[in-house]
Amino acid sequence: MGFDRDLFLPVSREDMERRGWDSYDVLLITGDAYVDHPSFGPTIIGRVLEAQGYRVAILAQPDWHSAAPFQALGRPRLAVMISAGNLDSMVAHYTAARKRRHDDAYSPGRKAGLRPDHATVVYSNRVREAFGDIPIIIGGLEASLRRFAHYDYWEDKVRRSILFDAQADILTYGMGELASKEIISRLASGTPVDEITDVRGTCVAATHPGVCAYPWVEVPSFEEVSSSKEAYARANMVEYNEHDPFVGKAILQKHGRQFLLVNPPARPLTTAEMDEVAELPYVREPHPMYDAMGGVPAIEEVRFSVTHNRGCFGACNFCSLAFHQGRVISCRSHQSVIREVKALTEHPGFKGYIHDVGGPSATFRRPSCQKQLKHGMCKNRACLAPEACPNLDADHTDYMMLLRKLREIPKVKKVFIRSGIRFDYLMKDPSGEFFTDLIQHHISGQLKVAPEHCVAHTLDYMGKPHIEVYEKFREKYFKLNRRYGKDQYLVPYLISSHPGCTLEDAVQLAEWLNKQGHMPEQVQDFYPTPGTLATCMWYTGLDPRTMKPVFVPKTPHDKALQRALMQWRKPQNRALVLEALHKTGREDLIGYGKHCLIRPSKGQSFGAQSGKDSRPASAKGKGAPAPRGGKKASGDPRKERFDGRHTVEKKNAPSNPKRKAGWAKPKPPVTKGTKGRKKR
């Protein structure tokens, strides 16, 4: 859009010369394209250090096949800081089925392949070739989640801490502003990098435990967790529990003759510090060097969005947030967010819509309870699952008042919420006032929430509330939509093949979806990312919280069966759905009844067709109701699918809804005196 390149951090020697620089202090290397926006971690670190008076240059997506491109900007005076980007590079490159992705939203023109696999390691090793013994600090999500010995899904093995593979001096984990400022300040004062061993939120290599400056606990070594899954699970649970900025201890893990020393997490930023970081002079656009390449698509989701918080005490077991940002909430002031939105209204591309005011979970603006500020997060339970803690503070008033202020800003037409809404947290709000505001003002056609599954024990393995909470939320959501005359959809996110989910559980999920009148257009297979409790379950077959065995659907065929059941209407899934129903003894779901998932093959006869319940005794009384007899099929498969959807959604669906695959639609308001009348 023609932004002056001098507004950005320098990306070339020419940029530095225009600024009159004959040298610079810190080189930031990132695996993403350079987007000067506070949704991009390396940009935040660069702007934070710039605000401290340091000269910072950016090297984005360098060619890693030789050391020469890493020398293009010259040797920095103090250090090289490296991040793989906003995603783990392996997640950016591969699907859950380990298939190579064909595009990359964090690269210009969506071009794939502009960063290497295990980008942090590759970049760091090239920097060693280019600059020898220069201090190397690695950070970002990839380094954060791989700071301990960890299971790597793509190589199907346990890898060492990324600190050792990268040959780095220091690893920063979590949100790295405080750690980065302290490290660079010490380097600038002349402190050798090998003496910087006590910064909170960092990891270093040590020759003996005496180097540690904090109370510490030791977990099984890399060699132990590589050979024993029980040792891996025990280590993972300690690593998770000690990730607490208030009471967490340092952790030592031996790697050969060296110790990995993981200092306690950095303290959360105060509101004033959050404001300062958010209001640094970001251009909020990709660097103009990408204009001819089609720009950087990742900016489109965040260009007119505002981040107001950090951290998430939802602590889903499959999510990396708890192990990266942590479970303690930090938030910005109302005044800071208002200033940012007012600035957005002056952007030449602004159309009147703020796309999101959120964060990891949009509605979190306060600690889960006051106890955690002194005693840390509870180690023996979660705040929201399987039931909300009695001490939970679920007051949404502060967030609601912030949104109301933003709606009043001139030029702002709508303020939407697109990042995660925790429906379980919302249902505990004592007033319910925010729920009505949400329905009336902050949904852009559809609201996405994440029940993830419907079976209680599977949800327990996920760390999610039981399905009854979602069903109560759903009922209230549609009730409020009808009250205010809104026509807004509800889209549930679901995961297949999560540890603990059996094929029988997947069948129950398909029944539940059929009853809800919903078939997902897209299905997310469980993706084992480094560091999470669910990945530990997937690798070890043990629940690290209890050390009890857990079933894991691992083979591609097992996963395909579960995935197909979530999209049972698709013709290409028919054979898999039939196989799954036969394997689980659920032939009662093969037939013409409205509860059935699939029709029988020619020449086959099932109880659902004759009116008899053919389910095994163990299945009766569970899941869908017994089939209704005597009901003939319409002969039109499209009408049969619609009839089934209409029958099960009759409580919430309109009398003659337009079919929209994958969406659940509320019933429009009924005018008094018209109920039961026939149309003329």
What pLDDT score was predicted for residue 625?
A: 40
What pLDDT score was predicted for residue 603?
A: 63
CA proximity to 551, closest of 487, 614, 503, 495: 503
What pLDDT score was predicted for residue 609?
A: 43
Confidence band, pLDDT 50/70/90 cuts, at residue 370:
confident
Please check whether residue 253 is in contact with residue 222, taking contact to mean a CB–CB distance below 8 angstroms. Answer: yes
The type of residue at 635 is G
From 358-372, 563-577, 655-669, the region with the lowest mean pLDDT: 655-669
- Take residue 222 and report the two structure tokens written for it: 């890399």
- Take residue 338 and report the two structure tokens written for it: 């208002």
**% of the chain surpassing 90 pLDDT:** 78
Beta bridge partners of 452: 494
What pLDDT score was predicted for residue 674?
A: 41
In three-state secondary structure terms, 77 is: coil
Q: Parallel, antiparallel, or unpaired: how do β-strands 26-30 and 56-60 relate?
A: parallel
The DSSP code for 112 is S
CA distance 520 to 513: 9
Please check whether residue 369 is in contact with residue 433, taking contact to mean a CB–CB distance below 8 angstroms. Answer: no
What pLDDT score was predicted for residue 605?
A: 54
The residue-averaged pLDDT of 47-55 equals 98
Q: What are phi and psi of 340, to 5 degrees?
A: -65, -40
What is Dmax (Cα atoms) for the chain? 88
Q: What is the four-CA torsion angle of 431, 409, 486, 469, rounded to 10 degrees?
A: -40
DSSP result, 417-484? --S---HHHHHT-SS-HHHHHHHHHS-SSEEEEEEE-S-HHHHHHHT---HHHHHHHHHHHHHHHHHT
586 membership: H or E segment, kind and range: none
Tell whether the model's pLDDT for residue 650 goes beyond 80. Answer: no
Please check whether residue 624 is in contact with residue 514, taking contact to mean a CB–CB distance below 8 angstroms. Answer: yes
Higher-pLDDT residue of 623 and 192 is 192
The residue-averaged pLDDT of 71-78 equals 97
Tell whether the model's pLDDT for residue 664 goes beyond 80. Answer: no
What pLDDT score was predicted for residue 75?
A: 97
The structure tokens 């429906």 sit at 423
- Express each pLDDT in 156-203 by its tens digit: 999 999 999 999 999 999 999 999 999 999 999 999 999 999 999 999
The residue-averaged pLDDT of 35-53 equals 97
The type of residue at 76 is P
What pLDDT score was predicted for residue 196?
A: 98
- Cβ of 630: how many Cβ atoms within 10 Å? 7
What pLDDT score was predicted for residue 604?
A: 60
Residue count of the chain = 680
What pLDDT score was predicted for residue 626?
A: 42
The DSSP code for 490 is E
From 245-254, 312-321, 516-525, 550-559, the region with the lowest mean pLDDT: 516-525
- Take residue 487 and report the two structure tokens written for it: 């026509």
- Per DSSP (E only), the strands in 226-287 are 250-255, 258-262, 285-286
Please check whether residue 351 is in contact with residue 299, taking contact to mean a CB–CB distance below 8 angstroms. Answer: no
What pLDDT score was predicted for residue 100?
A: 96
What pLDDT score was predicted for residue 375?
A: 84
* CA 385 to chain CA centroid, nearest Å: 18
The residue-averaged pLDDT of 46-50 equals 98
What pLDDT score was predicted for residue 69?
A: 97
The structure tokens 């950070």 sit at 139
What pLDDT score was predicted for residue 420?
A: 79
- Cβ of 74: how many Cβ atoms within 10 Å? 15
What pLDDT score was predicted for residue 221?
A: 98
Query: Model-level pTM?
Result: 0.87
Tell whether the model's pLDDT for residue 432 goes beyond 70. Answer: yes
What pLDDT score was predicted for residue 378?
A: 86
Q: Parallel, antiparallel, or unpaired: how do β-strands 250-255 and 216-219 relate?
A: parallel
Query: Burial level of 53, CB count in 10 A (0-12/13-18/19+)?
Result: exposed
Distances (CA, A) of 326 to 36, 292, 372, 386, 554: 25, 39, 12, 20, 29
What pLDDT score was predicted for residue 249?
A: 97
Please check whether residue 590 is in contact with residue 606, taking contact to mean a CB–CB distance below 8 angstroms. Answer: yes
- Establish whether the linkage from the previous residue to 386 is cis, with ω within 30° of 0: yes
CA angle 578, 581, 587 (to 5 degrees): 100
- Take residue 288 and report the two structure tokens written for it: 């103009």
DSSP result, 297-346? GGGGGTTTEEE-EE--S---TT-SHHHHT-SS-EE--HHHHHHHHHHHTT
CA-based radius of gyration for the chain: 27
Please check whether residue 327 is in contact with residue 384, taking contact to mean a CB–CB distance below 8 angstroms. Answer: no
CA distance 289 to 3: 10
**% of the chain surpassing 70 pLDDT:** 88
Confidence band, pLDDT 50/70/90 cuts, at residue 623:
very low
* CA 445 to chain CA centroid, nearest Å: 22
Q: Parallel, antiparallel, or unpaired: how do β-strands 542-543 and 548-549 relate?
A: antiparallel
Please check whether residue 593 is in contact with residue 608, taking contact to mean a CB–CB distance below 8 angstroms. Answer: yes
- Express each pLDDT in 92-138 by its tens digit: 999 999 999 999 999 999 999 999 999 999 999 999 999 999 999 99
- Express each pLDDT in 380-400 by its tens digit: 788 988 888 988 999 999 999
Confidence band, pLDDT 50/70/90 cuts, at residue 373:
confident
From 248-257, 387-396, 546-555, the region with the lowest mean pLDDT: 387-396
Please check whether residue 245 is in contact with residue 264, taking contact to mean a CB–CB distance below 8 angstroms. Answer: yes
Please check whether residue 408 is in contact with residue 348, taking contact to mean a CB–CB distance below 8 angstroms. Answer: no
CA proximity to 455, closest of 517, 504, 395, 397: 504
Average pLDDT, the chain: 88
Confidence band, pLDDT 50/70/90 cuts, at residue 606:
low
Higher-pLDDT residue of 515 and 633 is 515
Please check whether residue 267 is in contact with residue 286, taking contact to mean a CB–CB distance below 8 angstroms. Answer: no
* CA 493 to chain CA centroid, nearest Å: 12
